A and B are shown apart, each in its own frame.
Chain A
Amino acid sequence: MSEDPARLAVWNALLASAADEMGATLWRTGHSPNIRERRDFSCAVFDARGQLAAQAAHIPVHLGAMPESVAAVNALAPWSEGDVAIVNDPYLGGTHLPDVTLVAPVFADGALIGFVANRAHHADIGGMSAGSMPVASELYQEGLIIPPLKLREGGATNEALLALILRNVRTPEERRGDFDAQLGALRTGAARLEALAARHGTAELARWMAALLDYAERLTRAALAAIPDGDYEAEDAMEGADGALLPLRARVTVAGGGATIDFSGSATEQDASINAVEAVTRSAAVYCVRCLLPPDAPSNAGVFRPLRVLAPEGSIVNARPQRAVSAGNVETSQRVTDVVLAALARALPERIPAASAGTMSNLAFGGVRPDGSPFACYETIPGGAGAGPRGDGESGVQTHMTNTANTPAEAIERAFPVRVRRFELRDGSGGAGRHRGGDGVVREIEFLAGAGVTLIGDRRLIGPPGARGGGDALPGANALIRAGGERTPLAGQAQLRVAPGDRIEVRTPGGGGWGSAAPDAP
């Protein structure tokens, strides 16, 4: 069935606009740097059945996870006007604990017409370390777990619930401000949806929400149609705490205009934060397919329809409750992307690039300044992008599941007792090939005060693979350089204390090369 092309485009703009404006409100009124500067949040509109109708594109890892939040809170039905649900449980619609999602039903003339939702990364949600991204072995250490609950009921805030949450986080005033921003954004989205219903009628709104899902499904099927039917497999690995390789397998089966992405054969879940919940795995897998669609294609439930994601329960890509998950969100999600793209490359060798750095190279440090004031800093360090059929890979750039900016040396040194000694490209770290992989970076930070340091970065043992005969990139390497000059290699995941004058050096992986460097022999 085909709808009127112009009405389809106009309704696409109208619903996307509602999601956009929620995003504008949340960004404008958010209190914390995570929201204001890094824009680590997402906003979405759902139909009355809880199907994703429009999502403002900000964070790829939220892409497949927002629908699960709405499904999870829908257990709280029946809804009444003025209700708002809250959830961050990674096993009930969340991703990792700092991502807190609010969902509100929207009514017209007393009837439910849809939901609006937003998810924001909160700077702290409690747990064993500031920032709630620790090297943990179980979920409880990572912070406060909020199951689906009504934060507002019939317009009245559940003050007891709010008080409980705020007492369990390190920066309650900032949290309250960010919750207010999220609530305000929900009101903006709901008002837009109500206005659409008032102007066009609820039946028309429902009809066009459905039509847009069909539209996105058609776009996705058109992209999948470019892939020859078949089974495409790839394997890669995450690096375990003791240096053991934890296999990650993907089999992409393309048939009948749909695709199944099956992660069977992947490693079992770990007593570490490297576990991904199913929603994160789904987001990363859907991200790969989303990259095959036109750049302005809508992100809605229609995209998911031709796709099945199978992640075996109890594996590193679908961990069971209680497992720690904070690194799964930032590291394992990158490997899921690598392995799905590697499988797709078997089908589309002239379209898919070589692997990128495959890690966010997370560095967190904190401590107490000489004047007694505490400090805490979290950053992700870029790597090389994989080369592709169109050319060399970018060097020193964020890839796949993250795209957050760095903090300038002139800002970080003013804010924290550190000195950035080196932040330059790591020459020769990209894979060789007809097109060269991008280079990673070397980032060296000198501490001017004692601090606790956490490093979480995968791809420290085996470099990102090349494609089509292109060479592999160099893996990353971390080191501690003591004030006296003594150099100690550090593992990919490390937690340590540093003294004034010590330096941490992070060398990030490059991207794989694409195509043989030498022309094939005749």
Chain B
Amino acid sequence: MPQADGVLGVDVGGTFTDFAAIGDGGVRVWKRLSTPAAPEEAVLAGAGGGAAQLAHGSTVATNALLERRGPRTLLATTEGFRDLLEIRRQERPALYDLEPRRRPHVVARGDAIAVRERVGADGAVVEPLAEAEVARVVTEARARGAEAVAVCLLFSWLRPEHEARLAAALRAAGLAVSASHEALPEHREYERASTTAVNVFLQPVVRRYLGGLEARFPGLRVMHSAGGLASAAAAGERPVSMVASGPAGGVLGALAAARAAGHEHVVTFDMGGTSTDVSLCPGGPRYRSDAEIDGLALRTPMIDLVTVGAGGGSIAALDAGGAMTVGPRSAGADPGPACYGRGTLPTVSDANLALGRLRPDVPLGGAVAPDLDRARAALAALGEPVAAAAAVVEVANATMARALRRVSLERGYDPADFTLVAFGGAGPLHACELAAQTGIARVLVPRHAGVLSAIGIAAAPEAVERGQGLLLALDADAAEPVRATAAALEARAADGLRAGGSALAALSWAADARYAGQAHELRVAVEQPAPDAIAAAFHAAHEREYGFAARARPVELVALRCRAEGPARPLPPAAETGAGDPDAIVPIALGDGTRAVHAPRAALAAGAALDGPAVVTQPDATCYVPPEWRATADAAGNLELTPR
């Protein structure tokens, strides 16, 4: 069992738990099979007893939310708004569904308590919260037998007194409480209530899990959705901040590898078994805070990424009109693609195997011997197996290309200006063809393409982000409130970081702003939390993202955000790659008989180039080099692919 010295990054996935140790000895990586019933078992077994600091990316919060595994939770809210979590934003999830349904929230209809009180839009008290009313709400909450209460009163982000008094009384009565002005002091009552309710709902499960791990790994660090690490205590207090953390490690890992290789503007392309995550990183990650997970609004800072198209397990079929479809149905882990030996329906992985892009003699995921006959039999349902396989890959690529182009253009970018960083089990198989279809001229396959998330987690800085809603016109009167808010935010963010035991290395600012009258805001990075700087940054960002700036129009500051980061932990210089072994490069025939070569990754020395068609296999990923492309190995162990 490898012993870690510095930081040990652990990423728990559905099939494998990945480990990356970063220390004086460079980067070392390994994998274990996951133990979904008790994920910590694989973590403990894989981590060994080393004294390393464990940095953990976990889906425990996400899974608990998806399964609605948590205590009965009440919502205490202003009278007139008891059904906030039922009505939500009143939209239905699918336009052409005769029976559209939203997933139930974590608070059942009827589990809301209406509170007599009201704060107005200017922050003035319209109806005071009486002590007798506080007592009545506490009595009712106890009488209902719930363990947890989310408190979300109207305009509490502007004037928190009522909410704070009620929350204190409920806590004193022994209930677990999240108050919305603490969880998310920003306007929009549904999103704030939803975030607060999910937060208090997830606390017990997440605290139990992290508590168990921290007993074995003191100083445990946990990945959060905004691409930073937090202490176990902080994560247990704000489990909602972990819900979208899964793919964040991959984005950080891809960015770190790309930067080390000299690429600044990248699109990360993480194609796994069931889905594909894409993140546009123009010089660095983009952040957002308006996510919806399983139909529930969650406002928590996160790396902006989009789940698109298909994964290796996506099932191909013919529809009633005679067209091929790939996904969204997936063979998942059980039964999995046909080539894994149990499934019978044709998937993208089966197609790659039949085409010879996955090699029949290279174990899948390093563990399972691929069953080519079974894959071909499954594909036969679609036609002649090799032709059907080519069709499946073509359709999967077209689906992903459509999504990638749309998400780029919506954010004001042309994918042609980016480098595609491909990872995940299936990313490097599809990267060149996807690049060709979206006008991208360069693909990078990082050295550790199959365990990039674990590396990203290990290399992530400690980070705390705090925000405050303002809804303030950015005029001459704004300077003082902005200054006061910034000072309070800076203290909260820095204190949060220090409470986790980290030194403060960097502070950065962002503002959510919009033109007066707009309903949606744009998050922009700002150098200084001052009105002029914010307005200037906003106009510039609006021009770039939306094609115009209305410099004469008043700008409204919706929220101010402060991010405090601990010291960066750049990846150590890559260990020497081997001298290469040209003799290990062997001729092969692809599925359709095309002559190609197969190169184990270790066969390529730094600087070596390989013209397609070719297949390069690494222990944790396989890369397909199409006929018109050339792969070049760099000194850090990455493959860079460009059209010839």
Contacts and interface: CB of A to CB of B under 8 A. Distances in A.
A57 B518 contact: no
Contacts of A391: 99, 101
Interface in A419-446: 419-425, 441, 444
A408 B189 contact: yes
Given A9-B395, A36-B520, A385 B546 contact: no
A493 B87 CA distance: 25
A290 B96 contact: yes
B376 interface: no
Interface in B402-427: 402, 405-406, 409-410, 412
A67 B29 CA distance: 57
A13 B399 contact: yes
B154 A37 contact: no
A213 B471 CA distance: 49
B89 A409 contact: no
B395 A407 contact: no
Interface in B187-234: 187-191
Given A17-B402, A33-B518, A287-B96, A25 B102 contact: no
Contacts of A57: 95-96
Interface stretch (B76-84, B239-247, B622-630): B76-84
Interface stretch (B316-324, B445-453, B490-498, B574-582): B316-324
A5 B95 contact: no
A291 interface: yes
Contact of B323 (A8, A33, A184, A390): A8
Nearest to B545: A28
A27 B83 CA distance: 31
A258 to B, nearest CB: 16
Contacts of B398: 9-10, 13-14
B325 A296 contact: yes
Interface string B116-145: 000011000010000000000000000000
Contacts of A406: 87, 89-90
Q: What class of interface size applies to chain B in its complex with A?
A: 35 or more
A3 B323 CA distance: 8
Interface string A354-397: 00000000000000000000000000001001001111011111
Contact of A33 (B99, B321, B325, B517): B517
B111 interface: no
Contact of A403 (B95, B321, B402): B95
Contacts of B188: 408, 410-411
A385 B89 contact: no
Contacts of A223: 320
B410 A24 contact: yes
Contact of A405 (B90, B545, B547, B548): B90
B546 A28 contact: yes
Given A177-B548, A414-B471, A9 B323 contact: yes
Contacts of B394: 6, 9-10
A184 B409 CA distance: 13
A13 B109 CA distance: 41
B164 interface: no
B155 interface: yes
B187 A410 contact: yes
Interface centre among A295, A353, A410 (most CB of B within 10 A): A410
Interface stretch (A70-78, A125-133, A214-222, A323-331): A214-222
Interface in B516-552: 517-520, 545-548, 550
Given A13-B402, A398-B90, A219 B95 contact: no
Interface in B563-598: none
B325 A409 contact: no
Interface string A75-111: 0000000000000000000000000000000000000
B90 A396 contact: yes
Contacts of A292: 98
A233 interface: no
B81 A423 contact: yes
Interface in A277-316: 287, 290-297
B152 to A, nearest CB: 11
Interface string A203-234: 00000000000011011001100000000000
A13 B87 CA distance: 34
A307 to B, nearest CB: 15
B413 to A, nearest CB: 11
A51 interface: no
A5 B391 contact: yes
Contacts of B401: 13, 17
A413 interface: yes
A394 B324 CA distance: 33
A291 B98 contact: yes
B390 interface: yes
A423 B126 contact: no
A338 to B, nearest CB: 12
A294 B319 contact: yes
A21 interface: yes
Contact of B80 (A390, A404, A413, A423): A423
B147 interface: no
B324 A8 contact: yes
Nearest to B78: A409
B519 A407 contact: yes
B86 interface: yes
Contacts of B477: none
A142 interface: no
Contact of B320 (A222, A341, A420): A222
A296 B94 CA distance: 11
A298 B242 CA distance: 37
Nearest to A181: B547
Contacts of B406: 17, 20-21, 24
B391 A291 contact: no
B91 interface: yes
A182 interface: no
Interface centre among B98, B120, B471, B546 (most CB of A within 10 A): B98
Contacts of B100: 385, 394, 397
Given A10-B398, A397-B90, A353 B98 contact: yes
B97 interface: yes
B92 interface: yes
Interface centre among B126, B187, B402, B518 (most CB of A within 10 A): B402
B395 A6 contact: yes
A29 interface: yes
Contact of B322 (A29, A215, A396): A215
B441 interface: no
Contacts of B402: 13, 16-17, 20
Nearest to B410: A24
A31 interface: yes
A425 B322 contact: no
Contact of B324 (A9, A17, A396, A408): A9
A69 interface: no
B190 A408 contact: yes
A397 B517 CA distance: 25
Contact of A215 (B92, B321, B392): B321
B378 to A, nearest CB: 16
A519 B405 CA distance: 53
B121 A218 contact: no
Nearest to B323: A8
A218 B89 contact: no
Nearest to A388: B99
Contacts of B33: none
B96 A390 contact: no
A351 interface: yes
Contacts of A33: 517-519
Contact of A5 (B98, B324, B518, B545): B324
Given A5-B382, A395-B86, A410-B154, 7 more contacts: A9-B325, A20-B406, A27-B410, A28-B545, A291-B96, A293-B96, A397-B91
6 contacts: A8-B322, A13-B401, A28-B409, A353-B99, A403-B95, A422-B81
Query: What are the 6 closest A-B residue pairs judged by CB atoms, nearest first?
Result: A6-B391, A222-B320, A396-B87, A413-B121, A219-B321, A29-B547
